[in-house]
């Protein structure tokens, strides 16, 4: 198949999933055309059958906000026409699904590629239902030829909030490359981050309000009072200053490292003794799955789709969002018991391998494309 993939290039789960999926499909012999305003952050090096098309936007003094939605529609139309795409798969509904639908309308005769939209999270739970987008989100859902959600939770949220009874939503979970994400921690790397042999807690996110990054610091401060430990904060985003300030307020700055954005986050996850994800909500929580694949137990919120992947009490512990006391007590319990840690580490790895491995889920998408194309 010849497949176009539109996604955000920035650090975040939807762009990561879109890229890993495209690369997985290319490895299976499909021709993949990524479209975005910059190369997706996990797309590096040259790969056979993989192309990147930068969406060009003309600068014009009248545009205070350049119309990216239209520029993307034009790019999708051109690539679909010139390369004979069978299907365009967009990740995150806004604005990608609307652009791809517009591109489809530009085909006057035959040749319109089918449109598959994957709903990822706040395109449904937050920004997608804001009055300025809501009717367009619903329209995009109804006009997609295929529609997937990354968790049962997100499918339910879509059905309950968008009056889309005509749409059939397939749940296809996110996935992880269990060959790349695996525990093989090099001791010298660990010694650099925890020179005194402290426990290492890790958080990875894009530091938006929904991630509750101050809770990460609150939990860590309680843990480090009892067990010598260090906090590794990976990623960047608007609330990073809040997390820094909280660390100052609680007097733990000397034990918290803000490492910024990393392309190979697996190198850090494998070093972790614990992964913290106290989000207000997560439609899936890809970073938690990647931590589990690396054998790192997860302490997270019992929110959104997280309970669909983190087995509470087995591969980690879940608490109500905001319950920093509970999360800290749970974290201390895991860190203090090598036996419990080993059990949770092994269980997380098994869940990643058996239910969320890249070859399995990429195959599910491949079958779904065939179904949408009627082949
Ligand atoms: O939904 C967002 O705001 C962004 C998106 C992203 O690109 O990181 O995150 C969502 O999609 C990820 C990939 O499917 C999921 O792992 C995240 O849980 C989800 N974020 C939220 O639901 C807050």
pLDDT digits (tens, 9 = 90+) for 265-282: 999 999 999 999 999 999
Does the CA dihedral 134-17-171-350 come out positive or negative? negative
Q: Record the tokens describing residue 339, joined without a space.
A: 């036996």
What Å distances lie between residue 127 and 6, 137, 186, 224, 330, CA to CA?
19, 10, 41, 36, 32
Give the residue, out of 122, 157, 285, with the most ligand 1 atoms within 8 A of its beta carbon, to mutate for a pocket test: 122
CA dihedral 237, 243, 245, 249 (to 10 degrees): 180
* pLDDT for residue 262: 85
Q: Rounded CA gap, 310 and 289, in Å? A: 8
Q: Rounded CA gap, 34 and 14, in Å? A: 13
Of 33-37, 107-111, 250-254, least confident by mean pLDDT is: 107-111
* Closest of 291, 27, 26, 313 to residue 176, by C-alpha: 291
Is residue 165 helix, strand or coil?
Answer: coil
* pLDDT for residue 158: 98
Q: Are 311 and 333 in contact (CB under 8 A)?
A: no
* pLDDT for residue 187: 67
Atom of ligand 1 nearest to the CA of 283: 22
Residue 35 CB-density burial (10 A; 0-12 exposed, 13-18 middle, 19+ buried):
buried
Render 210-260 in DSSP notation, one character per residue: GG-HHHHHHHHHHHHHHS-EEEEEE---TTHHHHHHHHHHTT-GGGEEEEE
pLDDT digits (tens, 9 = 90+) for 145-204: 999 999 999 999 999 999 998 899 999 999 999 999 999 867 678 888 999 999 999 999
Q: Rounded CA gap, 285 and 302, in Å? A: 11
Pairing label, strands 256-260, 229-234: parallel
Give the residue, out of 10, 13, 89, 285, with the most ligand 1 atoms within 8 A of its beta carbon, to mutate for a pocket test: 13
CA 48 to chain centre: 25
pLDDT (mean) for 128-149: 97
* Closest of 150, 120, 166 to residue 309, by C-alpha: 150
> What residue owns the CA closest to ligand 1's atom 23?
282
Distance 327 CA to ligand 1 centre (A): 22
pLDDT digits (tens, 9 = 90+) for 206-245: 999 999 999 999 999 999 999 999 999 999 999 999 999 9
Distance 122 CA to ligand 1 centre (A): 7
Give the binding-site residues of ligand 1, using a 6 Å CB cut-off.
Answer: 12-15, 17, 120-122, 125, 150, 174, 210, 281-286, 304
Q: Record the tokens describing residue 147, joined without a space.
A: 């529609």
* pLDDT for residue 372: 98
Residue 307 CB-density burial (10 A; 0-12 exposed, 13-18 middle, 19+ buried):
middle
Of 27-36, 61-70, 325-334, least confident by mean pLDDT is: 61-70
pTM confidence score: 0.95
Q: Rounded CA gap, 186 and 295, in Å? A: 14
* Closest of 153, 19, 3 to residue 86, by C-alpha: 3
What Å distances lie between residue 252 and 106, 261, 357, CA to CA?
57, 21, 37
């Amino acid at each position: 198949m010849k497949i176009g993939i539109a996604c955000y290039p920035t650090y975040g789960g939807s762009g990561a999933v879109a890229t890993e999926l495209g690369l997985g499909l290319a490895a299976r012999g499909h021709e993949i055309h990524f479209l975005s305003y910059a190369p997706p952050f996990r797309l590096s090096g040259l790969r056979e059958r993989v192309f990147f098309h930068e969406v060009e936007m003309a600068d014009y003094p009248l545009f205070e906000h350049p119309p990216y939605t239209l520029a993307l529609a034009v790019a999708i139309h051109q690539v679909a026409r010139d390369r004979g795409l069978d299907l365009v798969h967009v990740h995150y509904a806004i604005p990608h699904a609307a652009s791809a639908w517009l591109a489809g309308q530009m085909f006057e005769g035959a040749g319109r590629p089918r449109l598959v939209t994957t709903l990822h999270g706040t395109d449904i739970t937050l920004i997608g239902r804001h009055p300025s987008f809501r009717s367009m989100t619903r329209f995009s859902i109804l006009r997609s030829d295929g529609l997937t959600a990354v968790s049962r939770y997100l499918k339910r949220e879509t059905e309950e909030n968008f009056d889309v009874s005509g749409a059939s939503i397939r749940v296809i979970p996110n996935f992880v490359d269990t060959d790349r994400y695996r525990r093989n921690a090099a001791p010298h790397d660990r010694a650099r981050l925890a020179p005194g042999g402290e426990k290492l807690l890790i958080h990875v996110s894009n530091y938006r309000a929904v991630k509750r990054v101050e809770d990460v610091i609150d939990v860590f401060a309680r843990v480090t009072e009892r067990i010598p430990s260090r906090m590794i904060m990976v990623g960047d985003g608007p609330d990073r200053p809040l997390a820094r300030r909280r660390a100052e307020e609680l007097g733990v700055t000397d034990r918290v490292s803000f490492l910024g954005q990393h392309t190979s986050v697996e190198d850090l996850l494998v070093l972790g003794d614990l992964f913290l994800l106290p989000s207000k909500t997560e439609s899936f929580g890809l970073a938690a799955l990647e931590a589990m694949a690396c054998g790192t137990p997860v302490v997270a919120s019992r929110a959104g789709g997280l309970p669909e992947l983190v087995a509470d009490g087995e591969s980690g512990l879940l608490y109500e969002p905001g319950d920093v006391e509970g999360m800290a007590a749970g974290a201390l319990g895991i860190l203090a018991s090598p036996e419990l840690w080993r059990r949770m580490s092994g269980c997380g790895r098994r869940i990643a391998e058996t239910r969320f491995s890249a070859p399995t889920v990429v195959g599910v998408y491949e079958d779904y494309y065939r179904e949408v194309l009627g082949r």
